[in-house]
Each structure stands twice: as C-alpha cells, then as structure tokens.
Amino acid sequence: MDRKDAEERVKELRQLLDKYGYYYYVLDQPLVPDSEYDEKMQELMKLEEEFPELQSNDSPTVRVGGPPLVAFEKVQHEIPMMSLGNAFNEQDLYDFDRRVRQVTGDDVQYTCELKIDGLAVSLSYENGSFIQGATRGDGTTGEDITSNLKTVGSIPLRLQKAADIEVRGEVFMPKRSFENLNKDKEQAGEMLFANPRNAAAGSLRQLDPKIAARRNLDIFLYAIADDKGMGLKTHHEAIAYMKELGFKTNPESQLCQSIEEVVEYVNSWVDRRNDLMYEIDGIVIKVDNLKQQQELGYTAKSPRWAIAYKFPAEEKITTLTGITLSVGRTGVVTPTAELKAVKVAGTTVQRASLHNEDLIREKDIKIGDQVVVKKAGDIIPEVVRVLDDLREGHEKDFEMPSECPACGSELVRLEKEVALRCINPQCPAQMQEGLIHFVSRDAMNIDGLGEKVIQQLFTHQLVAGIADLYKLEKEELLKLERMGEKSVQNLLNAIEASKQNSLEKLIFGLGIRFVGSKAARTLAEHFKTMEQLRNASYDDLLAIHEVGEKMADSIVSYFDKPEAAALLDELDALGVNMKYKGPKKAEAASDSIFNGKTIVLTGTLEKLTRKEAKEKIEAFGGKVTGSVSKSTDLLIAGADAGSKLTKAKEYGVEIWEEDRFLEEAEL
C-alpha cells in the first residue's frame, strides 16, 4: 500500500472507529461486535506504525495508552473549579431557594443532576480537537492528565463540530469495573481499593497511561466552563449543546419548576441510588438561568447559584464480634470494633473506630451486641447505636486494660484527656507509628516507605527507630518480600534524597505533640537551625505569635528528653540537614516594600501560581487576604481580574500587574 492509499484508509478507519466508539461508550448502543472493532483498531495501529507521519493526537489508537510519563505537569485553571456548598436536609434546600429568590425574584427554575462519586476534571478543545485534560486540584491549580484521559472511551478525541470549548465533568469507575479490578488485585495479593472513587482517582494518577486504559473508566460531563461566547441562555441548553458535540451527559438530570419539585426529585433517588451502575453520593441543584447565575455570583469558595444535597448516610445492622486495641505514635490507645462483615455505602465494613473508653460507656456497647453502623460522610465507618432490645444475655462488657497491649507498660490518663496513653518512649507500636509519620508526605516524604514496608522492616528487626532508616543496606532489603533490585535502589535513593529536606520537614516528622506542618514551618523560619530550636526556652517560643502555651510546653518537654537529643545528634551525624532552606523573611522592614502590607491577589497569574505568590509575599513580611476592603494596601491583578479589581479601584487601592510585582520582589 502506497502513502496515498494508506492516508485514505487511515482516514476511513478513524471515522469508523470514532463512530463505533461513540455508539458504544456514549449511547450504550454497540453497532458492531467487539471483535470487529478490535480488528479495525489493529489495522489502524499497523498503518500508523508503517507510516508514522500519519499519526495524530486525536487518533483512536491513543486510547490504548502511550509511553509512561516522568511526572504530571501543573495546570492553572483560567476559570476556577470551585466546590459546592452542602445541604443535608429538606430545610437546607428551602433555605437555599429563599436566598436565591431574594436576589432573582420568584421566577426561578432549577436543574437537578445526580452527584457522581468520582474525580472532577476539566477538558479543553480547540477547533474540535481534545488538547488538554486536568484534575481539579485545589480549584486553581490542577495536574495535566491528558494522556490518561485519552484512554477513557467516552471522552471524545474530536467533537462533532469544530468548537473551541472547555467543559467540566466527573470521571468515575462503574461498579462492575471496580469489582473486577479488586478481584484481580486480591488474586495478586495487592491492597484493595476502598471504593470506586478512590479507584478512579488512582487510575487517573498513574504515570503509565496503559494502566489507566485497562481500568475501564467512564465520564459524565455536566458543565461548560467557557463557551467562547456561544450565546447559551440556560444550563439545560448547555447540556443539550454538549450532547450535540458528542459529550456523554447523564440522562437522569431534570428541569424543575419549583423547589418543591426539587425536593421530590431528591427524595426519589434516596432509595434508588443503589440501582445505578455507578456510585452517587447526592444531588446537585443549579439555578438554570445563566443570567441569574451571574446575578447570584460566588462566595470565596463556591457559587451561590448551586448546592449539593448529600444523601443521609446509609445505616446497616450487624454484630459487634470483638474490640481490639491499637497504639498510635503519641501513645494513645484506641479501641476498634470488630464487626461481622456488612456492606455499607458500596463497600464492605469489618472494623470501626470506637475512639475511647468514654464513648464505649456512653453508647453502652457490649461485645456480641447487634449494632447500627454507617459511614460518616460516606467514608469513615462508625457505630451509631446499640440495639439493646435485641440482647439475649450472652453479651459481655468491655474493660480497657491497665497495661499497654504492645509493651506492657502502665497506661495513664493525662489531665483533661479522655484517652488512655502509653508513655513508654520505647514502645514498639509507638515507634512503628512514629516511623510511618516520619516518612509521610508532609514530613520527610520518603517515596516507597509505605505502612506495609515499615511493618516489614520492624518484623525483620531492620529498624527500631528513625535513625535506622538511614543505615539500611541494599543486601538486607533484597531479602524482604516484594522487594526487587529496582524497588530497593529506588527506596535507598529516596531515603538519601530526604537528607536534603528543609528543616521544617524534619521538625514535623519528629511528631512533637501539637506541632503540625504549618507550625513546623513557622519554627524553622524563626530559628533557622535545629540547634537554635533545641536551645529555645519556653519564653522564646511563646514570643512567636503562632505558638501557644501548650505547644511551647510540648516543644520544651520534647527537647529535654535525653533520647530526643541522642536521636538528633545521630541524624546530624548521618547527614540529615538541620537548617531551614525555605524563603527567608525580610531582614529589615525598611528593606521590604511588602513588609506590614495587606495584599490581595486576583485574576490569573502567568509566571507564578497563587500559592507561590502568597509564599513570596509572606516571606517578605506581607499579609495576603482573600477580599478587598478599605484596609487593603495593594492589589496584584493577573489576567481576567474581576470584581476585586473593580472594588479596589472604588477604594483607591494601589494596583499592580504581575510584571510589576515580579520586578519589585526581584523574582
């Protein structure tokens, strides 16, 4: 076949496969057997391999997954992906309606949509071709997952019209795909996914798109973020237009003429939700008229024209077969209910935290009781109440032990605390939990040292404390289960790289009581070195605005312990960095134009993320706030600045563009 014939055949095959895919994935109406689709796909792949110049980014062959990525690039959302306010009962819905009508008048309609339990994404198209897909992230900055999204069959690579458009939707994993995936993982001896949402999110964050391609993900599109001036007047018109373009939208959405119809729609799905082939966790209610949406506007976090009704947590009855104890890194002993397996909100529940002895007494929980369980927020299993009228007399009271279940030391209850605590610093359970905390993302961030690997290291007596991590040798790690040459080398490289972390990572990783990641950074910025922090007095610590009495006392107590001093000396000798490497505060107020100023950021910054700009301002003594007022000293405006810019002009606030900010900050 010559190039001209190949080009014609490639064009024909792509059109056929696009059509087959649209009917299969979007309309759920297969036109041909799977074997014929696969045959055409193989033919196209061979032609594109033989004639590389005919390859295209929107060819159906990209759905099989491309080469692995090194990392995900950051994406700045021009239009923020905001979260929604929540409604938990009918009164919340009526209150929402009242707030809406106070602004729009009584002539208001609502579109109701199923709230898909998946991962929110944004898809961008130019001239009808899919060019980029990103996660929601923090609403302002997400991750570029285009390669993985191309493997989702229901996402069109080319639209029915040559449109420039950005749309928003929810990628999800159908229940059947989730069950099959977990069966495969179980057979392979791997950890199972907790629910379809986690499975979908994990699939889209795989650096190898071929893995995402095997996960059978799906999507519903629910909004046009930027219609490039298409003149649409209502939300349901926008949904219809997306369908015309070839997007898959949820067929269960409904236009309601009143809030009473909304409530009826919501109630109709409370019991029917489990009949769907995918998970939902509520209903999204939106003002339908787009002009009214503009009138209502936004709060700092969410639109005033939409709300998410969250379904009441599903409750199930099961048997509490026992109560086990675990010891956390701070020594707190936590009782956990062991339950006869029961399916709640889509997943099997066998354990639920009972928090402390007082809660067990308050709920009168006995071993052998019939109990009602639910998932708080549809996530965390919880024992709601005991069905004491079903007791048969064989149920047993539970008594908290007086000794630590891990080391046998006496348990104590500190003043004003409900928890029992083991105060033995050599308690193996505490040491293990402390290590898990030390290597976590917000602490030393040692990739490859998950909970299971830490447990293996303890079991094989390769580590007994934090410093031992930096003494691990390749030969001893290779003897561990599921630790091959490559994974061991990657782990050792990650451990070595963690030595260069800035001081705040180490401070947080030490697990000092009351010292979170933000406080750790404050301490690192203030004292600059671990030595100065170790020598700080109670009064020195209290002099820091963010440090209170409890935290100061906890820090002094920690560094007073001989074992803490020994640990830090050993880490220092092993080459772990003991200095702050982050941006330094301005040395003197007179040297910083931002020092003492109240500053607002608005619009889209091109050369920095909002977070980076905020950190720079704060490093030079400035304070960043979210809204413009008469006390605002400076507004830094990026592209597409809106109401904040208008308000700043009204108040006579000084306004800089991004380039001026970069120049003044010497960035």
569 is written with which tokens?
Answer: 């000396």
**Would you call 358 helix, strand, or coil by DSSP?**
helix
Listed residue (7, 320, 238, 252) closest to 113, CA to CA = 252
In sequence order, which residues have a C-beta less than 8 Å from that of residue 438 and are 6 or more positions away? 444, 466, 469, 509, 510, 511
User: How many other C-beta atoms lie within 10 A of the C-beta of residue 174?
Assistant: 17
d(CA 295, CA 105) in angstroms, rounded, equals: 11
Q: What CA–CA distance (Å, rounded) separates 173 from 193?
A: 12
DSSP, res 396: B
Catalytic pick from 40, 115, 505, 644? 115
Q: Tokens at residue 264, please?
A: 């009826």
Distance CA 496, CA 445 (A): 11
Signed CA dihedral, 551, 557, 560, 563: sign only = negative
Q: What is the 3-state secondary structure (H, E, C) of 525-548?
A: HHHCEHHHHHCCCHHHHHCCCCCC
Q: Is 366 a catalytic residue?
A: no
Query: How many whole angstroms separate alpha carbon 498 and alpha carbon 467?
Result: 12
Task: Tokens for 618, please give them.
Answer: 């704060």
Q: How many angstroms separate the CA atoms of 172 and 120, rounded?
A: 9
Helix (H, G, I), strand (E, B), or coil: what is residue 245?
helix
Q: Residue 666 corresponds to which tokens in the numbers above?
A: 């010497």
Q: Are 209 and 147 in contact (CB under 8 A)?
A: yes
> Which residues are marked as active site?
115
